[in-house]
Amino acid sequence: MTNAPSTAMEPAMSQPYTVPSFAVIAGAQVQHALQGREAQIVDLIEATYLLHAAGESVNPPSYFLRFPDRPTSRIIALPASIGGQDRVDGLKWISSFPDNVQAGIPRASAVLILNDHDTGYPFACLESSIISATRTAASAALAADHLTRNRQRPTRIGFFGTGLIARYIHTFLTAVGWSFDETGVHDLSEQSAAGFSDYLRQTGSAGRITVHDDPEELIRSSDLVVFATVAGEPHVGDPAWFDHNPLVLHVSLRDLAPRIILASTNIVDDVDHCLKADTSPHLAEQLSGNRDFLHGTLADVMTGRVTPPTDRPLVFSPFGLGVLDLAVGKYVYDETARSGQLHVVEDFFHDLRRHG
């Protein structure tokens, strides 16, 4: 078996390069490596955001593969590279097919490829829908923590959209110490709303759980609103619904009309990434002709460069950076290797001699 990729920082050519082994890590292994480690993953996401802000990453624009015959579906490529002590390159390839939900299977599916820093050889392929949901939820929990440090901590949460991402966000929030007196639920699908409510009860969530048929009612009764929908364009348009100045985790990015964005304090994960692909902030930029409505990034808040005001709604819109997937994927790889459970594909790389 050939050597696994090195994770230590070393000068170029400090040792002869070797072709790494190639491993496949299944979803069950991914879940095993991450389950119960929510606090560690939130810390990892925080460190990765800070690396990114310091210029220790490469995170090019995502590429959207769209289909004329399936306009609601897409597959997205997120290439990225992380520097620092645990260097790794790679690519997340994630599909979103909303019609899957009607067939009883998840909307999103994904794989993550990890590439060796020195040779460029891929050394692992991981099931990545769990990794994607994990980094999204960890990012939301991290943002909720930092964005409420100068305001009253929310005790009423509302979930607008009740799929996998909502479940992961709830799991991460509760794992890092959040509890709520009231939890509101709203979804266009009554079945999904009922299923999410059952999940909340099974987890032993404290406080009252209410299913809201009216989206305005959900928002007005929540101090923390989580948007986790599959919306392709804004469907919430009245700024008055947010007059109580809640914290909004705008995870699905396209729910809020531009005028709500313009009436709010706005924090993003990365300015250039977030203001494209017809996200709500991108539409707000097109409407206003500038980016003055953006107050900064989450890294700005974490480092104290930005302190969001408390007299307006506070909206966090994370585009979702490929470097976060890489960081979580590398964590899963290392944990799986440490446990001796790597499924290595023998002789994956073949015919390695230049001249035969």
Question: Residue 204 has what pLDDT?
Answer: 84
Domain borders along the chain are 23-131+322-344, 132-317
Phi, psi of 343 (to 5 degrees): -95, 95
Distance CA 187, CA 185 (A): 7
Q: 132-317 maps to which CATH number?
A: 3.40.50.720
The answer to whether the CB of 295 falls within 8 A of the CB of 261 is: no
pLDDT means over runs of 10, the chain (356 residues): 44 68 97 97 97 96 94 94 92 94 89 96 97 97 97 96 95 96 96 96 89 98 96 96 98 98 98 94 98 98 96 96 97 97 94 81
Question: Residue 14 has what pLDDT?
Answer: 52
DSSP conformation letters of 131-159? HHHHHHHHHHHHHHHHHTTTSPPP-EEEE
- Cα angle 286, 294, 92; round to 5: 80
Nearest C-alpha neighbor of 301 from the set 269, 324, 275 = 269
pTM of the predicted protein model: 0.91
Q: Which CATH superfamily is domain 23-131+322-344 in?
A: ornithine cyclodeaminase, domain 1 (3.30.1780.10)
